[in-house]
Structures are given as structure tokens and as C-alpha cells.
């Protein structure tokens, strides 16, 4: 479960998140929509622990524990996962090596045994098949030379292997064609479970046709300005973000 309470965040002199509060229950899929510059990605980065942001006040509770004092790796070990809008290329690190290193690093932080190689391979095979990731891709350097769709699928594959209790998907649909959106969405839907919450950040309602959210929040000017169900996304598809433009200008 994720609870964001009265979060105020700045970068330099500029305040980006403004007394933002949000709660996502276990098993819930919450979507955040909003215009460019409303602070959606900042929220994702702050929850994941990126350092360049200054948290002025507020709390981010993951399963009841405030994670703002924790480093990104400690948050990951507590069960947090961020799928990046632009997954980073890591030249020289074979994807398979990276997956194993990441999985075992989290297990170690949690005081668990490393996975045996056969067990690891079994899990990789299963996740790879679900996301149409060919074994050849796993031998290549992580995300290097991958297409946009391949990078996003690789991020979802990592999520499948790391089995987080809460996952944030930051504009996972951006730059993807219809087929790629469908494959990514299938991957996410396969990971839905009563104990796992999702926060899906997107500009476009299209993704929400494939991953049907329980709640939809509109973000503008660094705060949640409206909340509702899936029908809110459908409404935004028709009306756009015009009515929230004033909020953005006023607060950002």
C-alpha cells in the first residue's frame, strides 16, 4: 500500500509538488493523468528516491513505513519498483548478468538466500515468454540498441522478476505502437494480484483501455485536482486538460 501525505517537493527554487496527497490500496490500480509539466514524473522519481529533488515536507509511506529517508536500493528491497519513462542504457552490462545481480541484491538486502541458477533461469524463461523477449536480447548489453518497445518490455520483465509489492509505471506507453502497448499491458495485467498496488502515470487514456484502473486521478499544478473511476479517463479523452490549465499556471 502506498500513501503520499501532504508532499511538497522543489527542485532548486521551483516548487513542483504542492501539498500532494494520494492513497493506493493493496491490489488497486491507480492511474494519474495530467498535462505536461504537472509534476507526474517528479512524483514517480521522488517516491523512488532520486536525489536531485528536495522534499520540503510530507511523507511517503510504503506498507506503512516512511521511505523518504531510505536510499533507492533500500526502497527497492522494501518492494518498490519504478518502470522508467526512458529506461536507461547500460553499455557493457549483459542483460542477463544485470537481472541476476539485481534479483540477488534485493534478496540479500531482505536477508534471503541467492537464487540457484536453475531457479533463476526458470523465472527468466517464464517472464521472457510472457513479454516476447527473445533469449538473444538477454545476451546483449542492457537496453543498448533496444527499440523503444523492447526497452519498455525489459522494464516490465524486471518487474516480473523482482515481484515488487508496489509498482509505478511512468508513461510506460510513450513511444510505443499499438502492439507494443498490448504486450506491455498483458505483462502488467499478469502481475496484478491482491497484494500488489500499481500507480500508472500516463498522458493518454489509450493505455487504460488495456490496463483498466480502479481509480483515476488528475494531476495539475503539482497536486491531485480531481479523482474518480475509469469513467474519468474516458471523460478526459473527450475534454482534454483545458479545464485544468489554470491550475497548472497558478501553481507551477
| Site residues (vs other proteins, CB under 8 A) | 48-51, 71-73, 75-77, 80-82, 84, 87-88, 90-93, 98, 101-103, 105-106, 109, 141, 158, 162
Grid cell at residue 232: 474519468
Q: Which is nearer to other proteins, 32 or 76 (CB)?
A: 76
Q: Which is nearer to other proteins, 87 or 128 (CB)?
A: 87
Q: Is residue 37 a contact partner of residue 11, using CB atoms and an 8 Å limit? A: no
Q: Which is nearer to other proteins, 47 or 232 (CB)?
A: 47
Rounded Cα distance between 61 and 7, Å, is 11
Cα R_g (the chain), whole angstroms? 18
Least distance between other proteins and beta carbon 136 (Å): 16
Least distance between other proteins and beta carbon 84 (Å): 7
CA atoms within 13 A on the CB side of 127: 22
DSSP sequence for 6-75 = EEEEEETTEEEEEEEEEEE-TT-EEEEE--TTSSHHHHHHHHHT-TTSEEEEEEEEETTEE-TTS-HHHH
Least distance between other proteins and beta carbon 205 (Å): 27
Least distance between other proteins and beta carbon 133 (Å): 16
Q: Which is nearer to other proteins, 77 or 131 (CB)?
A: 77
Q: Which is nearer to other proteins, 50 or 210 (CB)?
A: 50
Q: Is residue 217 a contact partner of residue 49, using CB atoms and an 8 Å limit? A: no
Least distance between other proteins and beta carbon 160 (Å): 13
Grid cell at residue 94: 549483459
Q: Which is nearer to other proteins, 86 or 204 (CB)?
A: 86
Least distance between other proteins and beta carbon 230 (Å): 29
If one counts every other C-beta atom within 10 angstroms of the C-beta of residue 238, the result is: 7
- 92: phi > 0 → left, psi -120 to 50 → alpha, else beta; which? left
Rounded Cα distance between 78 and 1, Å, is 12
Q: Which is nearer to other proteins, 88 or 117 (CB)?
A: 88
Least distance between other proteins and beta carbon 73 (Å): 5
Amino acid at each position: 500500500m502506498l500513501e503520499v501525505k501532504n508532499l511538497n517537493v522543489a527542485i532548486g527554487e521551483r516548487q513542483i509538488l504542492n501539498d500532494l496527497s494520494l492513497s493506493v490500496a493493496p491490489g488497486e490500480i491507480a492511474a494519474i493523468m495530467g498535462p505536461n509539466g504537472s509534476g507526474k514524473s517528479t512524483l514517480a522519481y521522488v517516491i523512488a528516491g532520486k536525489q536531485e529533488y528536495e522534499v520540503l515536507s510530507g511523507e511517503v509511506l510504503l506498507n506503512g513505513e516512511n521511505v523518504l529517508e531510505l536510499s533507492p536500493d533500500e526502497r527497492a528491497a522494501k518492494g518498490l519498483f519504478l518502470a522508467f519513462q526512458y529506461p536507461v542504457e547500460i553499455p557493457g552490462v549483459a542483460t542477463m548478468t544485470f537481472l541476476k545481480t539485481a534479483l540477488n541484491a534485493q534478496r540479500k538486502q531482505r536477508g534471503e538466500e541467492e537464487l540457484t541458477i536453475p531457479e533463476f533461469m526458470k523465472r527468466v524463461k517464464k517472464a521472457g515468454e510472457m513479454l516476447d523477449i527473445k533469449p538473444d536480447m538477454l545476451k546483449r548489453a542492457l537496453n543498448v540498441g533496444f527499440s523503444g518497445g523492447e526497452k519498455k518490455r525489459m522494464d516490465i520483465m524486471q518487474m516480473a522478476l523482482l515481484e515488487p509489492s508496489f509498482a509505478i509505471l511512468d508513461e510506460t506507453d510513450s513511444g510505443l505502437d499499438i502492439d507494443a502497448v498490448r504486450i506491455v499491458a498483458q505483462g502488467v495485467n499478469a502481475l496484478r494480484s491482491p497484494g500488489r498496488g500499481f500507480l500508472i502515470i500516463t498522458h493518454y487514456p489509450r493505455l487504460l483501455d488495456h490496463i483498466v484502473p480502479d481509480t483515476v486521478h488528475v494531476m495539475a499544478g503539482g497536486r491531485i485536482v480531481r479523482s474518480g473511476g475509469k469513467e474519468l479517463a474516458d471523460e478526459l479523452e473527450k475534454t482534454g486538460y483545458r479545464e485544468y490549465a489554470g491550475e497548472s499556471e497558478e501553481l507551477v
